[in-house]
A = this chain, B = another copy of it.
Amino acid sequence: MSAVLDRPARGSRHRLQRMPERARYDVEAVRAVLDAGLVAHVGFVIEAQPFVIPMLYARDGDEVLLHGSVASRLMKTLAEGLPCCLSVTHVDGLVLARSHFNHSMNYRSAVLFGRATLIEGPGEKRAALARLVNVLIPRRAELTREADAQELAATKILRFVVEDASVKSRSGPPEDHPDDLALPVWAGVVPLAMHAGPPEPAEDLHPDADADDPTPPHPAYVLRARADT
């Protein structure tokens, strides 16, 4: 199986300090991978033990907002400014070759190194929460009630400041050994993508809900468009 999902070691991290202009291509590539996802895997270290936790995120310029529970010890630890690693991966397809060795996957992944700080100010916190809601469905935050003081107090949001980032991807058909082309086995790519199913309305939905939900016209429609891009 060809190497598809390994990462460059630290010494060869693609350096994008605060994403300068000279690395513009890479900045765009990192943004594109982040903007296509919902959940990041965030790694950090406590007493030599690595932790990897899935977190809902939203890109905010060249920083990343992360959402967690106020009660979480991990959020508190992250907020102390420890070195972090944030990884987002999209699986795009199965690459089916004629040999075990050349089987692979099509994917796009971004790995970001940096540190997180806690968002403290209520105004900034409220804006960050709205941004995280809009990651689920664009413009959803404008249609729903903002957080009140009590809810804000029960929410922790981190701002992840990027120090380095890199993108890695694979696309296209299998690359078989010439000798294997004589094997009469199907080979090619099975594309994979995240799709939305029919929305399941809440049982206690307000009777005027659909009519008063101007944008997006329908949650699944918007999400499907997002998944297809």
CB-CB under 8 A from A62, the residues of chain B are none
Q: Is A3 in contact with B194, judged by CB distance below 8 angstroms?
A: no
Is the CB of A34 closer than 8 A to any CB of chain B? no
Is the CB of A84 closer than 8 A to any CB of chain B? yes
Nearest chain B CB to A111's CB is how many angstroms away? 7
Is the CB of A200 closer than 8 A to any CB of chain B? yes
CB-CB under 8 A from A47, the residues of chain B are 10
CB-CB under 8 A from A146, the residues of chain B are 99-100
Supposing A49-B10, A129-B100 touch, asked if A189 and B200 sit within 8 A by C-beta, the answer is: yes
Q: 29 interchain pairs (CB within 8 A)?
A: A3-B67, A3-B69, A3-B70, A6-B53, A6-B75, A7-B72, A9-B46, A9-B72, A10-B51, A38-B105, A39-B107, A41-B41, A41-B89, A43-B43, A48-B83, A54-B87, A96-B136, A96-B219, A98-B145, A99-B144, A100-B145, A103-B133, A103-B140, A174-B202, A176-B202, A185-B206, A186-B199, A190-B219, A195-B195
